[in-house]
């Protein structure tokens, strides 16, 4: 492999599945750019994709295997895993072992994990973090279409005249799909966009209508639409007759929820006129696409929500046509691949089900000695069984459940008590690797090779372009070695991902005639390694028949026994976790623009860490006022599951009574940021997906006395600092070090003394100090040989306005400058504020200055002066808000 050539691969983040080109430059740094030949993104990348090179540092990398904390040769560690798994199986049977896997594994890793546990260990206890993500969509698709099929493709957006985003913040979570939508809207002024989301998100920037619904009310809203369509003669009777079943009971149920528009609107928390306007838009537009994501799936009624949406599309025949589709947009880069290989407890493999004919075919195909014959446990139950001791060995790969599962404190306790916890990861220290008896070094993005499938069923290759570090190996290799050591050498003799993919493709053709299965890529089985390596992105099915894969079900033939789609009778139910006197507020959780999940990768990039540098709790200003709380204050938020401290952010885009907190901060980055410790583990009864968007909570002030900003050239273990009893802290990566934000109950003077004592424990440093006891300001720099090691400023609660001068110290080698900085508490460099445009690193103040100086009235104008917003466009909504603000003031 030549290191200097651009290698085509795929972005490892969201389900958009953008094509990326990467290469090593002369300084051993990885450069990336968008792949203009990839059909998903045509060369565009968002801020996270563009910063991929910055996340490939050696920092914190897991390079070698560890058994009980001691480094071991990989082969020895794998032997240990094999013997402990065999022993557990022998003593306690197949139900005592479990694999918890991830939509970030490649298809080949996923396939081998599923084959090993279901086909050879005899247990179906394999579940994926996709349970927390896509499982309601999977179940909804199966109920409606007979198979888990996303009917549409991104091209639908370019052909639609109404795109409704339901519980999807596309602008931040699928930025390149959002850019496609935005461009489509510019090209076709008839295209209307509706956003259904309790929050006013950046996706509302291009919305013609925003329905700020009460959390959890989508079934009622779509039932109302169904009833409206019926009442106004807008159903497609011919389509219903020829291609569907279940119409009458589904409509009757819908009508029960929708007796009166005014009542319905009140239940949904919106104006009747707005609701009516949406209903009219849907009724009067032929080509409608409803894009839905976690605001739909992550609900105790997630599957019903999915079917309530699909019902409206089926009843109007708005499906299976370019520009007309119900479009579940997947979260992770290979969530779809995981569904193909069946690595969820209730799926088998290759879209086969637990039924005798399918089991027999799979058993023969795998030559399986011990095929699991019934579904295993789903994620939340899996960890409950780990806690109760029924599961005694768990292998976690490519996911961080100590942060991402609901009631995360209980998950941590379960892992602590489990006799065997194996974790494969690329990063040595995560909240989950802490609990590992065996840590296996997994090859990461750039080092591994395989297939992913994006939201629109597009298979794309991830290709390696850097050498693996230390003993790191792809997950399929780790799994195959353990399988061999457990006595299954023949079935796991894989030498390459190409061989595994070929087997997976062949399996997808099993029983192809017996069922109208859409997932069939059997034409790709038997690909040579060279052809696999050269494979161009393509959408399934790939079964040797010429067909247009952009819109499936265009012939009105579905995958059910009758060939007809099913309308499902669903009724709105209030959430099981209701807001009441003790917990009057609804906590919603989700994502921010520049971070990915538990930050193990995006947290390494300074570029991505500045847009939002601290976890925050967003609240409507009127709610904050009624609690007597101010913007920027640290507060305590508590639920029945636990409590944490978080910085309050007033945001008029929040609905009254609703709060929002991001999911990204783990214990590696903060003392209190793990929001899942508050989230209840109520799940959808069909899909088992947790209701991550809905937890009843309460709020109160936190009485702290002092705050600090601490700069350090190297990472510090603040959680170990005994002198900080309250220990609120958050860590942020900078280019040359780290910045910590702290708060404490001690006086500023005591906090300053505690910090100094802690820092002096780290080495023999000379300190330069400033103290103003009247103003309660304390500043200090610790220097050795003219080099800054750490510096901090401490003030009373709420008095820290900026940390810019501290950050600027890192770039100054001269101790005189440092001394001046500490004494003055100001920086020679101006405070430019947070980064707004990550791609071009443009900060807030620069943008404000440009707006003022040039009297800008559009984001394009701002971009022409300072480049902000001119690459991925994700910050354009923020630029527009800044322009609006400047016009008001």
Ligand X SMILES: Nc1nc2c(c(=O)[nH]1)N[C@H]1C(S)=C(S)[C@@H](COP(=O)(O)OP(=O)(O)OC[C@H]3O[C@@H](n4cnc5c(=O)[nH]c(N)nc54)[C@H](O)[C@@H]3O)O[C@H]1N2
Which residues contribute to the site for ligand SF4 (CB under 6 A)? 11, 13-14, 16-18, 41, 45-46, 48-49, 174-176
CB of 679 to ligand SF4, least distance (A): 24
Gap between the Cα atoms of 603 and 739, Å rounded: 12
CB of 869 to ligand SF4, least distance (A): 16
The number of helices, as runs of H, and strands, as runs of E, in the chain is 30, 34
SS3 of the chain: helix, strand, coil, percent, to 5: 35, 20, 45
Contacted by 215, from Mo ion, ligand SF4, ligand X, none: CB < 5 to 8 Å by type: ligand X
Gap between the Cα atoms of 343 and 769, Å rounded: 58
Gap between the Cα atoms of 698 and 639, Å rounded: 6
Gap between the Cα atoms of 475 and 108, Å rounded: 9
> Which is nearer to ligand SF4, 128 or 874 (by Cβ)?
874
49 makes contact with ligand X (CB under 6 A): no
Kindly state the greatest CA–CA separation across the chain.
83
Asked if residue 208 lies in contact with residue 194, where contact means CB atoms within 8 angstroms, the answer is: yes
Pick from 591, 656, 745, 881 the residue near ligand X by CB under 6 A. Answer: 591
End-to-end CA distance of the chain: give it in Å, rounded: 57
Gap between the Cα atoms of 72 and 85, Å rounded: 18
Asked if residue 216 lies in contact with residue 207, where contact means CB atoms within 8 angstroms, the answer is: no
Bridge partners, 162 (sequence order) = 192, 288
198 makes contact with ligand X (CB under 6 A): yes
CB of 20 to ligand SF4, least distance (A): 7
> Which is nearer to ligand X, 492 or 660 (by Cβ)?
660
600 makes contact with ligand X (CB under 6 A): yes
> Which is nearer to ligand X, 198 or 541 (by Cβ)?
198
State which of positions 113-152 bind ligand X (CB under 6 A). Answer: 129, 132-133
Taking contact as CB under 6 A, which single stretch among the options 162-170, 367-375, 498-506, 513-521 is the one that binds ligand X?
A: 162-170
State which of positions 661-700 bind ligand X (CB under 6 A). Answer: 663, 675-676, 679, 692-693
394 makes contact with Mo ion (CB under 5 A): no
Pick from 172, 239, 395, 583 the residue near ligand X by CB under 6 A. Answer: 172
Contacted by 408, from ligand X, Mo ion, ligand SF4, none: CB < 5 to 8 Å by type: none
> Which is nearer to Mo ion, 133 or 421 (by Cβ)?
133
Could you tell me the CA-to-CA distances from 159 to 156, 280, 327, 336 in Å, in that order? 5, 19, 14, 24
Asked if residue 313 lies in contact with residue 226, where contact means CB atoms within 8 angstroms, the answer is: no
Contacts of 853 (CB under 8 A, 6+ apart): none
Per DSSP, the three-state class of 462 is: strand
CB of 779 to ligand X, least distance (A): 35
> Which is nearer to ligand SF4, 13 or 738 (by Cβ)?
13
Buried b (16+ CB within 10 A) or exposed e, 196-214: bbbbbbbbbbbbbbbbbbb
Alpha helices by DSSP H, 621-768: 621-626, 748-761
Asked if residue 450 lies in contact with residue 461, where contact means CB atoms within 8 angstroms, the answer is: yes
Pick from 17, 53, 122, 331 the residue near ligand X by CB under 6 A. Answer: 331
CB of 601 to ligand X, least distance (A): 6
Contacted by 293, from ligand SF4, ligand X, Mo ion, none: CB < 5 to 8 Å by type: ligand X
Gap between the Cα atoms of 378 and 565, Å rounded: 27
590 makes contact with ligand X (CB under 6 A): yes
State which of positions 382-401 bind ligand X (CB under 6 A). Answer: 397-401
Record the tokens describing residue 526, joined without a space. Answer: 């038997």
State which of positions 313-332 bind Mo ion (CB under 5 A). Answer: 331
CB of 834 to ligand X, least distance (A): 16
Gap between the Cα atoms of 696 and 829, Å rounded: 45
604 makes contact with ligand X (CB under 6 A): no
Q: Go through the chain and tell me how many residues it has.
A: 889
342 makes contact with ligand X (CB under 6 A): no
> Which is nearer to ligand X, 121 or 663 (by Cβ)?
663
Of the candidates 335, 221, 321, 341, the one whose C-alpha atom is nearest the C-alpha of residue 274 is 221
> Which is nearer to ligand SF4, 689 or 871 (by Cβ)?
871
CB of 151 to Mo ion, least distance (A): 20
Contacted by 597, from ligand X, ligand SF4, Mo ion, none: CB < 5 to 8 Å by type: ligand X
CB of 857 to ligand X, least distance (A): 28
> Which is nearer to ligand X, 82 or 675 (by Cβ)?
675
Gap between the Cα atoms of 824 and 800, Å rounded: 14
Gap between the Cα atoms of 535 and 11, Å rounded: 16
What does the binding site for ligand X look like in residue numbers (CB under 6 A)?
A: 14, 102, 104, 129, 132-133, 166-169, 172-173, 196-199, 201, 213, 215-216, 218, 293-295, 298, 331-332, 397-401, 403-404, 424-427, 430, 442, 444, 448, 475, 588-591, 593, 595-598, 600, 663, 675-676, 679, 692-693
What does the binding site for Mo ion look like in residue numbers (CB under 5 A)?
A: 133, 331
């Amino acid at each position: 492999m030549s290191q200097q050539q651009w290698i085509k691969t795929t972005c490892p983040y969201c389900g958009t599945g953008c094509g990326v080109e990467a290469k090593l430059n002369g300084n051993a740094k990885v450069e990336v750019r968008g792949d203009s030949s990839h059909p998903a993104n045509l060369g565009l990348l968002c801020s996270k994709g563009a910063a991929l090179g910055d996340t490939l540092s050696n920092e914190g990398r897991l390079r070698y295997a560890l058994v009980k904390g001691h480094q071991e040769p990989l082969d020895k560690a794998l032997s240990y895993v094999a013997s402990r798994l065999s022993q557990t199986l022998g003593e306690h049977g197949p139900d005592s072992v479990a694999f918890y896997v991830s939509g970030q594994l490649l298809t080949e890793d996923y396939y081998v994990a599923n084959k090993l546990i279901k086909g050879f260990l005899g247990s179906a206890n394999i579940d994926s973090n996709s349970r927390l993500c896509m499982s309601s969509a999977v179940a909804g698709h199966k109920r409606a279409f007979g198979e888990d099929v996303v009917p549409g493709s991104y091209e639908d957006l370019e052909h639609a005249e109404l795109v409704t985003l339901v519980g999807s913040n596309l602008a931040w979570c699928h930025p390149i799909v959002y850019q496609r939508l935005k461009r489509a809207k510019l090209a076709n002024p008839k295209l209307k966009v509706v956003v259904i989301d309790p929050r006013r998100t950046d996706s509302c920037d291009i919305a013609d209508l925003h329905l700020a619904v009460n959390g959890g009310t989508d079934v009622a809203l779509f039932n109302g639409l169904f009833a409206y369509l019926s009442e106004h003669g807008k159903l497609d009777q011919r389509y219903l007759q020829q291609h569907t079943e279940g119409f009458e009971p589904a409509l009757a149920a819908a009508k029960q929820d929708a007796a009166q528009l005014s009542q319905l609107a009140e239940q949904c928390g919106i104006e009747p006129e707005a609701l009516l306007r949406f209903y009219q838009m849907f009724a009067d537009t032929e080509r409608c696409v409803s894009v839905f994501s976690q605001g739909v799936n992550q609900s105790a009624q997630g599957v019903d929500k999915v079917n309530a949406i699909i019902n409206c599309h089926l009843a109007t025949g708005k499906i299976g046509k370019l520009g007309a589709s119900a479009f579940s947009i997947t979260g992770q880069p290979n969530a779809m691949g995981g569904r193909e290989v069946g690595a969820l407890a209730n799926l088998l493999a290759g879209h086969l089900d637990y039924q005798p004919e399918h089991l027999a075919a799979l058993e023969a195909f795998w030559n399986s000695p011990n095929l699991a014959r019934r579904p295993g446990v789903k994620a939340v139950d899996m960890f409950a069984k780990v806690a109760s001791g029924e599961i005694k060995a768990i292998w976690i790969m490519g996911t961080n459940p100590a942060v991402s599962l609901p009631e995360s404190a209980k998950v941590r306790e379960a892992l602590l008590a489990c006799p065997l916890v194996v974790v494969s990861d690329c990063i040595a220290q995560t909240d989950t690797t802490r609990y590992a008896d065996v840590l296996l070094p997994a090859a990461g993005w750039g080092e591994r090779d395989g297939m992913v499938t994006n939201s629109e069923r597009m298979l794309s290759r991830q290709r390696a372009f850097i050498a693996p570090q230390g003993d790191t190996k792809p997950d399929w290799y780790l799994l195959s070695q353990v399988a061999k050591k457990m006595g299954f050498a023949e079935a796991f003799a894989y030498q390459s991902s190409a061989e595994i993919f070929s087997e997976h493709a062949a399996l997808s053709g099993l029983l192809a005639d017996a069922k109208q299965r859409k997932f069939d890529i059997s034409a790709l089985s038997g690909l040579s390694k060279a052809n696999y390596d050269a494979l161009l992105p393509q959408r399934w099915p790939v079964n040797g028949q010429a067909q247009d894969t952009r819109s499936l079900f265009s012939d009105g033939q579905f995958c059910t026994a009758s060939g007809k789609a099913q309308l499902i009778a669903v009724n709105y139910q209030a959430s099981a976790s209701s807001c009441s006197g003790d917990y009057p507020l609804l906590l919603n959780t989700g994502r921010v623009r520049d971070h990915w999940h538990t930050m193990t990768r995006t947290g390494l990039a300074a570029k991505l860490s500045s847009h939002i540098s601290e976890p925050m709790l967003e609240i409507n200003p009127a709610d904050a006022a009624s609690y007597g709380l101010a913007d920027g204050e640290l507060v305590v938020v508590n639920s029945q599951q636990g409590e944490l401290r978080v910085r309050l952010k007033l945001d008029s885009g929040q609905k009254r009574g609703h709060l929002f907190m991001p999911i990204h901060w783990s214990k590696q980055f903060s003392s209190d940021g793990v929001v899942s410790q508050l989230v209840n583990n109520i799940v959808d009864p069909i899909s088992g997906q947790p209701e991550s968007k809905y937890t009843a909570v309460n709020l109160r002030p936190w009485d702290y006395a002092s705050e600090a900003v601490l700069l350090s050239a190297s990472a510090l273990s603040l959680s170990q600092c005994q002198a900080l009893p309250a220990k609120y802290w958050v860590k942020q990566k900078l280019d040359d070090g780290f910045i910590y934000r702290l708060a404490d109950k001690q006086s500023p003077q005591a906090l300053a003394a505690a910090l100094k004592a802690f820092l002096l424990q780290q080495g023999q440093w000379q300190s330069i100090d400033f103290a103003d006891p009247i103003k309660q300001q304390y500043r200090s720099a610790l220097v050795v040989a003219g080099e800054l090691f750490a510096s901090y400023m401490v003030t009373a609660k709420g008095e820290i306005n900026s940390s810019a001068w501290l950050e600027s110290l890192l770039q100054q080698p001269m101790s005189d400058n440092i001394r001046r900085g500490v004494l003055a508490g100001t920086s020679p460099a101006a405070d430019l504020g947070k980064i707004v445009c990550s791609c071009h690193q443009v900060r807030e103040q620069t943008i404000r200055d440009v707006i003022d100086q040039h009297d800008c009235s559009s984001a394009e104008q701002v971009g022409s002066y300072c480049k902000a917003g001119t690459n991925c466009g994700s910050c354009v909504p923020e630029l527009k808000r800044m322009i609006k603000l400047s016009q008001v003031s």
